[in-house]
C-alpha cells in the first residue's frame, strides 16, 4: 500500500477536520464531519444567486413542513418485535416478497424490486427515513436562515428518537431487515442506520444555537458509543463487517463516523487503517470497477452507492490525518473507481451491465463530492436541489 498525499491535503490546516471535534474549530463551533465549512460558507454568501435562491426557498418550504410534524419514534410501528420491547428497531428486508406459489410460506427474493410493505407503519423504516430527512433539512435550514425554530425542531427529533427513556430507540439492529419465514433480523439491517451519518452533521449544524445542551449531546454520544459496541460485538454486526460488497464499505463508514462522534477515535483510526487492504484491494479491480456490485440488477446504482460510503469513510479519515481519497492499494484507488463510473455520465446506453433505473442525479451528486475531494475542476459540478446549498457551484 502506498499513500500519496496531495499538496492540498494538510491535516494541520485550520479548515481541516480535527478528530472527534470535526470541523468545530473552523466552523464556529459546528461539529460537522461531512459538511465542510468552506463550501457552506461560500454558498451562504451567495444566497442571492438565482439558482441558490431557488434551492433555498424549496428548502425552507420543506423545513416548515417538518416543523408541523410530530417527532417520530420507534414506538410508532404497529408490529411488536420478538423481544417484546417496542424500543427495538424493526424493519423488513427491501427485496423480499411473498411467494406467489406459496403465499403463507417464506418470502422470496426479487433483486432491485422493493417490497412496498417495507414502508408501511408496520415497521420502523419509514419513521427512521423521515427522521433523517427532517433532521438534515432542518439543520441546513437553520444554518442558512439563522432561525432558531429549525434548531429547536432538530433537538426535538433527537430527543424523541434517541434520548427519551420512553420512546428512545435501543442501540441495536437485532431485528432489522427481517425476512418473514426465514430470518428475524439480518446482518444487512445494519445498513438501515447509515442515515444517522447525516443526523450527526445536522446536530453539528445546530450546535451554536444551544438547542441541544451539552448534557444532551453527551447522552447522544453515549448512545452512539453503545451502538458502536453493538456493531463490533453482535452477531449481525460481525457478519456485516465481513460482507464483501457495499454492505462492508457502509459498515466501515458508519463505524468510523459513529466512533468519531462518540469520541472513540481509536476505533475510527483502526477502521481507516484497515480500509485499503480490507476493502480497496478486494472490492476494486484494476480497471476501477466494483465487481461485487456489477452482478446486481441495479449495478450502476450500487456502484455509486458503494462510493458514497467510501467517501464518508474518507471524510472521517481526513479528521484523523489520513488521506484515503489519494491512497493507493495495489493500484486500486477511489479516484480510479470514481473515474470508472464518471465515464458513463450522459452515456447510459453504453453501460454494459444491468441497471433497472438509471441514477443520473445520484451520479451528479457523487461527482460534486468528488470534485470537492480532488478538484477544483476534477469533475464538472452539476448541482440540483439541496446540493446547491451544500457545495458551491464552482471553485
Q: Give 241-299 pLDDT, tens digit per residue.
A: 999 999 999 999 999 999 999 999 999 999 999 999 999 999 999 999 999 999 999 99
d(CA 191, CA 385): 25
Q: Which three cell numbers stand for residue 127?
A: 419513521
Angle (nearest 5°) at CA 391 between 8 and 250:
80
Q: Which three cell numbers stand for residue 229?
A: 459496541
Q: Which residues contact 157 (CB under 8 A, 6 or more apart)?
A: 71, 72, 131, 134, 135, 138
Between 320 and 104, where is the model more confident? 320
- Confidence at residue 10, expressed as pLDDT on a 0 to 100 scale: 44
- Confidence at residue 180, expressed as pLDDT on a 0 to 100 scale: 87
- Confidence at residue 16, expressed as pLDDT on a 0 to 100 scale: 87
Q: Which three cell numbers stand for residue 8?
A: 492540498
Beta 175-178 vs 90-92: how paired, if at all?
A: parallel
| Mean pLDDT within 113-129 | 94
- Confidence at residue 13, expressed as pLDDT on a 0 to 100 scale: 42
Cell numbers 479528521 correspond to 319
Least confident interval from 82-86, 112-116, 359-363, 369-373? 112-116
| Mean pLDDT within 78-105 | 94
Q: Which residues contact 343 (CB under 8 A, 6 or more apart)?
A: none
CA dihedral 343, 372, 311, 289 (to 10 degrees): 10
Q: Taking every pair of C-alpha atoms in the chain, what is the biggest distance, in angstroms?
A: 62
Cell numbers 491535516 correspond to 11
From the CB of residue 361, how many other CB atoms can be counted at a distance below 10 Å?
Answer: 12
Quick one: which of 279, 266, 265, 277 has its CA closest to 311? 279
Quick one: which of 206, 152, 163, 162 has its CA closest to 35? 206
pLDDT exceeds cutoff 90 at 340: yes
pLDDT digits (tens, 9 = 90+) for 194-213: 999 999 999 999 999 999 99
- Confidence at residue 361, expressed as pLDDT on a 0 to 100 scale: 97
Q: Which residues contact 330 (CB under 8 A, 6 or more apart)?
A: 1, 281
Report CA-CA distances (Å) from 57 to 52, 138, 368, 388: 9, 13, 21, 12
| Mean pLDDT within 146-172 | 98
pLDDT digits (tens, 9 = 90+) for 380-395: 999 999 999 999 997 5
- Confidence at residue 11, expressed as pLDDT on a 0 to 100 scale: 39
| Mean pLDDT within 352-381 | 97
- Confidence at residue 395, expressed as pLDDT on a 0 to 100 scale: 59
Long-range contacts of 274-279 (CB under 8 A, 24+ apart): 275/313, 275/317, 275/324, 276/1, 276/324, 276/327, 276/329, 277/1, 277/329, 278/248, 278/252, 279/248, 279/249, 279/252, 279/310
- Which 3 state secondary structure label does DSSP give 327? strand
Between 257 and 7, where is the model more confident? 257
pLDDT exceeds cutoff 60 at 183: yes
Angle (nearest 5°) at CA 339 between 316 and 326:
40
d(CA 68, CA 91): 26
Angle between helices 196-205 and 214-233 (to 10 degrees): 160
d(CA 380, CA 376): 9
Q: Which three cell numbers stand for residue 234?
A: 453482535
CA dihedral 384, 388, 389, 394 (to 10 degrees): 160
Specify whether the CB–CB gap between 246 and 302 falls below 8 A.
yes
Peptide bond into 376 cis (omega under 30): yes
Quick one: which of 395, 394, 393 has its CA closest to 55? 393
d(CA 305, CA 115): 20
Q: Tell me what percent of the residues of the chain surpass a pLDDT of 90.
A: 93
| Mean pLDDT within 352-358 | 97
Amino acid at each position: 500500500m502506498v499513500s500519496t498525499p496531495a499538496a492540498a491535503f494538510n491535516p494541520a490546516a485550520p479548515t481541516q477536520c480535527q478528530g472527534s471535534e470535526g470541523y468545530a474549530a473552523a466552523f464556529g463551533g459546528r461539529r460537522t464531519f461531512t459538511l465542510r465549512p468552506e463550501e457552506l460558507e461560500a454558498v451562504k454568501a451567495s444566497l442571492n444567486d438565482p439558482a441558490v435562491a431557488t434551492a433555498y426557498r424549496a428548502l425552507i418550504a420543506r423545513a416548515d413542513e417538518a416543523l408541523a410534524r410530530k417527532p417520530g419514534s420507534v414506538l410508532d410501528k404497529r408490529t411488536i418485535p420478538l423481544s417484546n420491547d417496542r424500543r427495538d428497531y424493526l424493519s423488513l428486508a427491501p427485496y423480499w416478497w411473498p411467494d406467489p406459489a406459496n403465499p403463507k410460506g417464506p418470502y422470496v427474493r426479487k433483486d432491485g424490486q422493493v417490497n412496498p410493505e417495507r414502508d408501511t407503519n408496520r415497521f420502523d423504516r419509514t419513521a427512521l427515513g423521515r427522521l433523517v430527512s427532517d433532521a438534515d433539512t432542518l439543520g441546513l435550514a437553520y444554518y442558512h436562515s439563522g432561525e432558531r425554530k429549525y434548531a429547536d425542531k432538530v433537538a426535538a427529533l433527537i430527543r424523541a428518537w434517541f434520548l427519551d427513556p420512553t420512546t428512545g430507540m435501543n442501540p441495536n439492529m437485532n431485528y432489522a431487515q427481517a425476512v418473514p419465514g426465514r430470518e428475524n433480523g439480518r446482518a444487512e439491517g445494519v445498513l438501515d442506520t447509515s442515515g444517522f451519518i447525516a443526523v450527526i452533521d445536522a446536530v453539528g449544524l445546530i450546535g451554536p444555537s444551544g438547542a441541544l445542551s451539552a448534557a444532551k449531546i453527551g447522552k447522544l454520544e453515549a448512545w452512539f458509543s453503545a451502538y458502536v459496541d453493538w456493531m463490533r460485538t453482535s452477531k449481525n454486526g460481525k457478519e456485516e463487517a465481513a460482507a464483501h460488497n457495499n454492505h462492508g464499505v457502509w459498515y466501515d463508514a458508519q463505524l468510523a463516523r459513529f466512533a468519531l462522534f462518540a469520541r472513540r477515535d481509536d476505533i475510527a483510526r483502526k477502521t481507516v487503517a484497515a480500509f485499503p487492504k480490507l476493502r480497496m484491494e478486494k472490492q476494486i479491480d484494476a480497471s476501477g470497477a466494483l465487481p461485487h456490485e456489477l452482478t446486481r440488477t441495479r449495478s450502476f446504482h450500487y456502484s455509486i452507492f458503494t462510493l458514497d460510503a467510501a467517501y464518508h469513510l474518507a471524510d472521517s479519515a481526513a479528521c484523523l490525518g489520513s488521506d484515503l481519497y489519494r491512497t493507493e492499494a495495489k493500484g486500486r484507488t477511489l479516484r480510479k473507481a470514481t473515474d470508472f463510473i464518471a465515464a458513463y455520465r450522459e452515456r447510459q446506453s453504453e453501460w454494459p451491465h444491468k441497471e433497472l433505473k438509471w441514477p443520473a442525479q445520484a451520479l451528479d451528486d457523487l461527482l460534486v463530492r468528488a470534485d470537492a475531494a480532488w478538484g477544483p475542476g476534477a469533475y464538472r459540478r452539476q448541482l440540483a436541489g439541496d446540493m446547491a446549498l451544500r457545495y458551491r457551484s464552482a471553485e
